[in-house]
A and B are shown apart, each in its own frame.
Chain A
Amino acid sequence: MTHVPPEEPAGPARIRPFLGVAGLGSPSADATPAGLRPFVLTSGRVDGVDPDIGLETQVTARSDGPMRTGVPVASLAPELRTIMALSAAPISVAEISARARLHLGVTRILVGDLRAAGYLDVHAREAARPDPDTILRVIRGLRAIS
């Protein structure tokens, strides 16, 4: 009852390499390690991102994923478990990144890994340019906003 959590250092909930607001600019000495750290989760991979995985791309967890791989979600790394939990309902890659507090590049790589392993469905991008019908639907949708 009397347990008081120790005061946490400034902003631990933020994404780790917290360089703050652009323009305040003091990356100086710690810029290099801060930039590298998030990619430890991806074993250092920074590219090879599946071009299907855009920021707005929708992701859903496959209920049969663990059955296919033989590895239950509970045994995955914490970040991967978080992504699986967030994807229980359709969610965008950008939203996973924000809610899991993972860098965007890291998120895309991990989502790609989970897809390759059969845990996630990635609903690939549509055509490069939206068609007139889709644009008309957006126009009608926005007009309905008041």
Chain B
Amino acid sequence: MDFVRSPEQAPPIPVKIVVAGGFGVGKTTTVGAISEISPLTTEAVMTSAGVGVDDPGQLTGKTTTTVAMDFGCVTIDRSLKLYLFGTPGQSRFGFMWDDLSHGALGALVVVDSSRLDDCYPAVDYFERARLPFVVAVNAFDGKLAHDLDEVRWALAIDERIPVVAFDARNRISVRDALLVLLDRALDDAVQGQTAQ
């Protein structure tokens, strides 16, 4: 195999944002709307995936499941590259989120306002992990089943957690939702620095 090496390319510093949410809420659409490559899929084998986070006592033996994860990227500048990882929102995949959250800028929790309970595990997880996150309600066809205040009330989330409506198919709309998240992340990072 012939290696044609491009003139010693220094690798960019990677940063990442987790895009979490239940099945079919538009995670891949969100990633695809902003990514400069069409989303790629990788798969991971989960062992003991049957163990519920809520019920750690009920060990029913090891099971294996394959979880698909979609991701894309945005080149910020020559030395910085943003990755977006779309991850399944079920609590039984929670331990995959440890890997994903490590070093992440934050998480966008994509929500279908007519199926709010799909996003509870993700919201719980990011609250506990103290990872900055934003609840982004995907407005299918520009319509929301509940208004944003109702969503906030139903999710019982902290007032400081932004809840925004967005259109997962629209690049600018996705960008703006990510910018809301990054503002949160910046606040956290600045506070973290002054606290030291």
Decide if A61 is an interface residue (CB 8 Å cutoff): yes
B residues within 8 A CB of A130? 15, 103, 105, 185, 189
**A-B contact list, 16 entries, CB within 8 Å:** A22-B68, A32-B64, A54-B102, A56-B16, A84-B1, A89-B6, A97-B43, A104-B44, A125-B103, A130-B15, A137-B80, A142-B178, A142-B179, A143-B175, A145-B74, A146-B172
- Assess the B190–A55 pair: CB atoms within 8 A: no
Q: Does A68 contact B (CB under 8 A)?
A: no
- Contacts A55-B85, A84-B1, A146-B172 given; does A94 touch B189 at CB 8 Å: no
The answer on a CB contact under 8 Å between A105 and B44 is yes
A44 to chain B, nearest CB (A): 13
Q: Which residues of B38-67 have CB atoms within 8 Å of chain A's CB atoms?
A: 40-45, 47, 63-67
Residue of A nearest to B66 (CB): A19
Residue ID in chain B nearest A21 by CB atoms: B68
- Shortest C-beta distance, B125 to chain A (Å), equals 17
Interface size on B, residues (CB 8 A): 59
Chain B residues in 8 Å Cβ range of A113: none
The verdict on B23 contacting chain A, using a C-beta distance below 8 Å, is yes
Contact with A along B66-100 (1 / 0, CB 8 A): 11110101101100101101001010000000011
Known: A31-B64, A135-B105, A137-B80. A94 touches B43 (CB 8 A): no
In which size bucket is the chain A interface? 35 or more
Task: Give chain A interface residues in 24-81, CB to chain B under 8 Å.
Answer: 27, 31-32, 34-36, 38-39, 46, 54-61, 63, 73-74, 81
Say whether, besides A130-B15, A130-B103, A137 and B44 are in contact (CB < 8 Å).
no
Q: A31 to B63, Cβ gap below 8 A?
A: yes
Residue of A nearest to B16 (CB): A56
Contact A89 B71 (CB under 8 A): no
